[in-house]
Amino acid sequence: MPVFDKKDKSRYTAFTRRTLGVGGGMSLVFAVLAGRLYQLQIRDGEEYLTASEDNRVSQRPIAPPRGRILDRFGAEMATNRRNYRVMIVAEQAKQGVRQALDQIGKVIQLSDLQKKKILADVAKNKKFVPVPVVENLSWEEFSRINLHLPYLPGVQPDVGETRDYPFGKEMVHVLGYVASVSQDDLKDDTDPLLDLPGYRIGKRGIEKAFDREVRGQAGDSRVEVNAYGRIVRELGKNAGEPGQDVWLTIDCELQRFADQRLGEESAACVVMDVDTGHVLSLSSTPGFDPNWFNVGLSGPQWRDLTTSDYKPLLNKVMGGTYPPGSTFKPAVALAAVEAGIATPDFRVNCNGVYNFGGHAFHCWQRKGHGALDIEGALKNSCDVFFYETSRRLGIDKIEAAARLLGLGAPTGIELPGERSGLIPSRAWKQKTYNWAWQQGDTISIAIGQGYVTATPLQLCQMAARVASGKQVSARMVHSVGDKVMDLAAAPHLPVSDEALAVVRAGMDKVCNEPGGTSFAWRINEPGFEMAGKTGTAQVRVYSKEERARGLTNNANLAWKLRDHALFIGYAPVNNPKYAIVCMIEHGATPPHPHCQMARDILLFAQKRDTVGRPTAYPVKSAAIRGTTRGAQNETSGKEPG
C-alpha cells in the first residue's frame, strides 16, 4: 500500500503552497521590519538620537547682566539692582489661582487690572510654569510675602535683576530708558533674549543707541524635561557674556546743577568742551523718571506725560527746532567780515525802522541805536544793522557761514532722534514753494526769523566753533567696553582770524560792556568772565495795531504767546573752555532768566576745575566696577534776549 494515496498527495501539495506563501509573506514582513530597523538605527540613527535628545533636553536662554552707563568720572548713571518679585504656579495653588491672588492682595496691593492680566498669563502657560504676579517690590513688601508664605500655596518669592536709574529725571534725556519688547522690535532683531518673558530693551537715548552692546550675549541653561515639558533636572549652565559698560563725556554733578537750575521751565541747556566737542551736560526740562517705564507706568502718569504743554517726553536739546533769533547774528557777522563788507569803518545808522520793498522792518529798540559798527551791533543786538548788512551780503554767503558753523545739519551726536533744523537757500525755496528767493527773505533770516530754525545743540556747537576756531562736533560717548571712541582732532575753520576776532569781541561786549544786552547778568568774578549773545525768537507776527499802541510785555501775555528766550556763550573770555546754550520756551521775560541760568551754569563748570576731582575716565578696576553687574515774521523786529 503506497505511503500516500493520490488524495493525500494533493492535500500535501496544497499545504506546502500555503506554507511557502505564509512563510514568504512572513519573510517579507520581517525583511521590511529589518530594513526599517536598519534605517532607524543604522542609517538615520544619529538623526533620531539627536531628535530624541532634543525632546529630552531643553536649552533655555539666560539673560546676562546689562552693562552700566557711567559718567566721565565713573559715577553710575544706569545700573542694575535687585528685583524682588512674586511668582505663582497654577498647579500648586490648591484653592485656585483666583483665590490665591485674592490672598496675595491681602498682603500687598494688587489691583483688579493686575489680577486680570495675571489670570490671562496663567491661561497661556502650562500649569507648572511660574508666572510673575508682581515685580519691583520694596523690601518691606517682600518680607510680608515671605512671612505669610505658609498660607499662600502656589506662591513663590523670587529675586531677579532690573534696571535702575539713580539720577531719575535729571538724566532721562541722556540715558533714555528700557521697556518691554514690542512686536516691531522682534521684526528687526532675532536675538533669543528678546523671547524671554519680561525682557526689556533700550527704547530711547544711550540705552537705545547702544542696546546691543549693553545687552550682552545670551547664556543658556540645559535642562532635562519630561514629555510635558516639566523640568526634571539641570544638566549644565552658561551664564553668557555680560553687557559692556558705556562711558560718557557727561559730568553728573554739572548735569545735576544745570537740571536743577532750569527747574520746571520748558527749557534746554547744553554745556560743551570747545576744543573737543565733548558734551558735559545735556538737560531738557521738565523730565520724567525713567524708572516708571521699567516698573510700570500708571494711566495718570502717561496722561500727564502726553498732554502737558511743556512736552516732558521731548528732548528739546536735539529734538526741538526753534527760530534762533538774535543768536543767529554771529553767523551773519562772520560772513560780513569775511566778505569785506563789515570793515572797521563800516557803519549803519539805526532809527528804529528799516524800510524795504514797501515793508517796514522794525528794530527791537523803537527809538533806534544810532550809528553802529559790527561790534556795536552785536553788543546792542541791533536789528537794523543786520537788515542792511544782510541785504548787501545776500543769502548765499549767509547760508555758507551758517553751515560752516554747524547749522542746518545734524551734529552727529550718538543719541537717536536728532533733527537737522533748517538753513534756507535759493534752491530750497524754489523746490519747497516753487517761488524764487526774495531779498525780504534775506532780511528776515538776518535776525534769525523767517525760515531759519535750529536745535539748541546746534547753537551750542556754533558757539564752540566761534570760541575755538575749530570745526568741533558734539560727541557724548567716550568708550564702549574697552574700545575708546577715537576722534580725529577738529580742523580749523576755513575763515580768517580777523573775522573770528571781530565776532568774539562783539560777543564779549554783549556781556562785559555797559549797554550790552546781557551786561546786567554777567559773571563778575575776575578770570571767569563769559562772552555771549542773547536772542528772542518770536512765535507770532506782531500786527500794526499792536505796534501803534505799544507791544505788550511778554510777562503779561498768556504763556503760549510769549517769545522764546535764548542765550549762547562761552567762558572764560580770554581762554575759552566751555560753550553753552540756554533756551526757555516762551521765556522771554524782563528778568532774562535764560541769561541768569547760563551765567550760573558756566560759573559752576569753571569752578569745577578749581577743586580736586578724580581723573576723568579712570582705569576700569574692580573697585570702580563694583559688584553689580516758530512762527515766521518778516516785517517786525524783537526785543533783545
User: Is 143 a catalytic site residue?
Assistant: no
What residue type is 641 in one-letter code?
Answer: G
Strand partners, 549: none
Separation CA 240–CA 247 (nearest Å): 22
Concatenated DSSP letters of 523-586: --STT---EEEEEEE-SSPPPHHHHHH-PPPGGGS-GGGSPEEEEEEEE-SSS--EEEEEEETT
- Residue with grid cell 548735569, as numbered in its chain: 255
At 342, list the grid cell. 563789515
263 is written with which cell numbers?
527747574
- Nearest Cα to 66, choosing from 294, 402, 252, 397? 294
Q: Which of 266, 281, 283, 326 is catalytic?
A: 326
Identity (one letter) of the amino acid at 638? Answer: K
| 570 phi, psi to nearest 5 deg | -155, 165
Which residues pair with residue 567 across a beta bridge? 534, 582
Residue 42, sorted as left (phi over 0), alpha (psi -120 to 50) or beta, turns out to be alpha
Helix runs in 97-224, H state only: 97-105, 112-124, 139-147, 172-175, 183-188, 205-209, 211-215
Length of the chain: 641
Cβ neighbors of 506 (< 8 A, separation 6 or more) are 330, 333, 374, 375, 376, 377, 378, 379
Q: Round to whole Å and give the CA distance between 555 and 620.
A: 51
In contact, 597 and 260? CB cutoff 8 Å: no
Evaluate whether 531 touches 598 at the Cβ level (below 8 Å).
no
Neighbour-count burial of 427, counting CB atoms closer than 10 A to its CB (0-12 exposed, 13-18 middle, 19+ buried): exposed
Amino acid letter, 469: G
- Cell numbers given for 227: 514629555
Percent composition of the chain: helix, strand, coil (DSSP 3-state, to 5)? 40, 20, 40
Q: What are φ and ψ of residue 137, in 5° steps?
A: -75, 150
Residue 407 CA to residue 420 CA, distance in Å, equals 8
Rg over CA atoms, the chain:
36
Strands in 65-164 per DSSP E: 69-70, 76-88, 131-137, 155-164
Please give the positions annotated as active site. 326
